[in-house]
Amino acid sequence: MNRTTLMNQEWQYATAGDPSRPALLLLHGFTGSHASWNGLMARWASEYFVIAPDLPGHGKTAIPDTPQDLSMRVTAERLAELLDYLSIAKAAVLGYSMGGRLALHFAWRHPELLWALVLESASPGLSREEDRQTRRHSDRALADTLEEKGLDWFIPYWADQALFRSQSASVRESENRIRRTQSPYGLAQSLRGAGTGEQEPLWEHLSSLLMPVLLVTGTLDHKFSATAQQMSAAIQEVLWVPVSEAGHTVHGEQPERFFEVVDSFLKKKQPTRPTLEEAARTDAKTGRVNREL
Q: 214-223, pLDDT tens digit by residue?
A: 999 999 999 9
pLDDT of residue 273 exceeding 90: no
DSSP state of 288: -
Give the residue with greater pLDDT, 282 vs 183: 183
Domain assignment present for 168: no
Q: Is the pLDDT of residue 275 over 70?
A: no
Identify the pLDDT of residue 292. 37
Which residues pair with residue 242 across a beta bridge?
217
d(CA 93, CA 95): 7
Work out how many domains the chain is built from and give that number.
1
Please report whether residue 158 resides in a domain: no
274 pLDDT more than 70: no
Q: Please report whether residue 137 resides in a domain.
A: no
pLDDT tens per residue, range 42-76: 999 999 999 999 999 999 999 999 999 999 999 99
Residue 272 confidence (pLDDT): 67
Instruction: Please choose, from the candidates 192, 232, 205, the residue with its C-alpha nearest in 3D space to the C-alpha of residue 72.
Output: 192
User: What local confidence, expressed as pLDDT, does residue 270 receive?
Assistant: 87
Asked if residue 61 belongs to a domain, the reply is: yes
**Residue 265 domain-assigned (yes or no):** yes
CATH number of the domain that residue 263 is part of = 3.40.50.1820
In the chain, the percentage of residues whose pLDDT exceeds 90 is 91
Helix (H) or strand (E) holding 144: helix 129-149
Mean pLDDT value across residues 102-115: 97
pLDDT the model gives residue 128:
93
Domain ranges, residue 273: 2-126+201-286
Q: Mean pLDDT throughout 101-105?
A: 97
Distance CA 291, CA 122 (A): 27
Indicate whether 181 belongs to any domain: no
H/E stretch holding 217 reads: strand 213-218
Q: Give the pLDDT confidence of 230-246 residue by residue, as tens digits.
A: 999 999 999 999 999 99
Q: Is 168 exposed, middle or buried (0-12, 13-18, 19+ CB in 10 A)?
A: exposed
Residue 148 lies in a domain: no
pLDDT band at 271 (very low <50, low <70, confident <90, very high): confident
The residue ranking higher by pLDDT, 271 or 79, is: 79
